[in-house]
Amino acid sequence: RLIELIGGYEPARTIITESLKAGKNVVSANKAALAKYWDQIFTTAQIYQKAIYYEASVGGVIPVVQGLSEGLASEEILEIKGILNGTTNFILSEMKKHCVSYEEALKSAQEAGYAEADPSFDVNGIDTANKLAILASLAWGSWVKVKNISVIKGIADLDIEDILITREFGYGVKLIGSAQKTKDGIDLSVQPCLVTHEHAFATVENEYNAIMITGKDSGDVLFYGKGAGQLPAASAVVSDIINLSKSIATNTAGIVPDVVYDSMKKIKIIPAGKSKAPYYLRFAVLDRPNVLSKISGILSEFKVSIARSLAQFNINKKDYGKIAIITHETYSENLEKALKKINATKSITKSKTVKIKIEI
């Protein structure tokens, strides 16, 4: 058998595929290589009738891969959404609890050992996208490519001001990876989202992850546990080694592939902008007459309606203010068109509008 824990794309991909060809079963925690080379790796595993175990690649200690591939094997999966990165969740928890900036929260995460010296892979949403691609590929039996996931943005430019304002509206901020099956195809995205204080993800703090899987018959199934740290990852790897050892002992390893995978099966991915959701918007506006009515007029022009709003002017005795808005459900492409027009109107705004999706 082979245990691959080196990370990255190469030489990990080559080591995994060549080991399978050489008749070795594989345990891997490498979400990057699995997501990018899913088709090649699992096609090779099936051709050579060898098993690949990869529980530690998603969710740390959470047994979500086993739960999805075995416990929910009979289910038609309708939706997967989750907090899939412990580093970003730790940073967001620090910002909320201590009212500190992103930079200060990142420093705390690095000191605690949850963030790398270069945290870009985590904070820009790439790690979450890789994990979402693995879960979606497993759920729908076809390769979901990372490039087909709309990584709207990560958390690096998140302002503490928005965390404080959205708290007044009754929300917290989480980085969420989402895959939803619709009649038109699979809707895939990674972005910061607002969740109400009653939402299942609202109490998921620090390095913990949570994944909600919705089945047609099962309804919502929630997986929760530590998603970052050496010991949780090691626990998942050792669990895979034990399960593989049992299969080898009974001479069943590789006879039935872990994944029912058809390289010829294709699934349709919905283009970004075709999904509906409510949004939080924050405008830095000039202190001029009727500025709110101008904003609402442009939003209405693109079929975006306002549910709630908050306005504050004469901030620090300067000639500008801020307007925060919660919209009703709207198509993101319509909202983007409206914001493009608002941001281009110099008589309204003094900087680019902040936009955050609201998870419902």
Contact at 8 Å (CB) between 269 and 185? yes
Rounded-to-integer distance, Cα 215 and Cα 79, Å: 7
What tokens appear for 323 in the block? 């307007």
Identify the burial level of 229 via C-beta atoms within 10 angstroms of its C-beta, where 0-12 means exposed, 13-18 middle and 19 or more buried: middle
- Residues linked to residue 346 through DSSP beta bridges, in sequence order: none
Closest CA to 345 of 309, 298, 305: 298
Rounded-to-integer distance, Cα 233 and Cα 241, Å: 13
The number of beta carbons lying within 10 Å of the beta carbon of residue 123 is 25
Q: Which helix (H) or strand (E) holds 173?
A: strand 171-182
Q: Where are the alpha helices (DSSP H) in the chain?
A: 12-21, 31-36, 38-47, 64-66, 86-98, 102-111, 120-123, 126-140, 160-168, 230-249, 291-301, 332-344
Q: Which long-range contacts (CB under 8 A, 24 or more apart) does 311-318 make?
A: 313/287, 314/287
Rounded-to-integer distance, Cα 41 and Cα 15, Å: 11
350 classed as catalytic: no
Contact at 8 Å (CB) between 157 and 282? no
Contact at 8 Å (CB) between 60 and 203? no
Q: Name the catalytic one among 131, 174, 181, 355.
A: 131
Rounded-to-integer distance, Cα 5 and Cα 18, Å: 16
Sign of the Cα pseudo-torsion (248, 251, 257, 259, in order)? negative
Contacts of 122 (CB under 8 A, 6+ apart): 85, 87, 88, 115, 116, 154
Indicate which residues carry an active-site annotation: 131
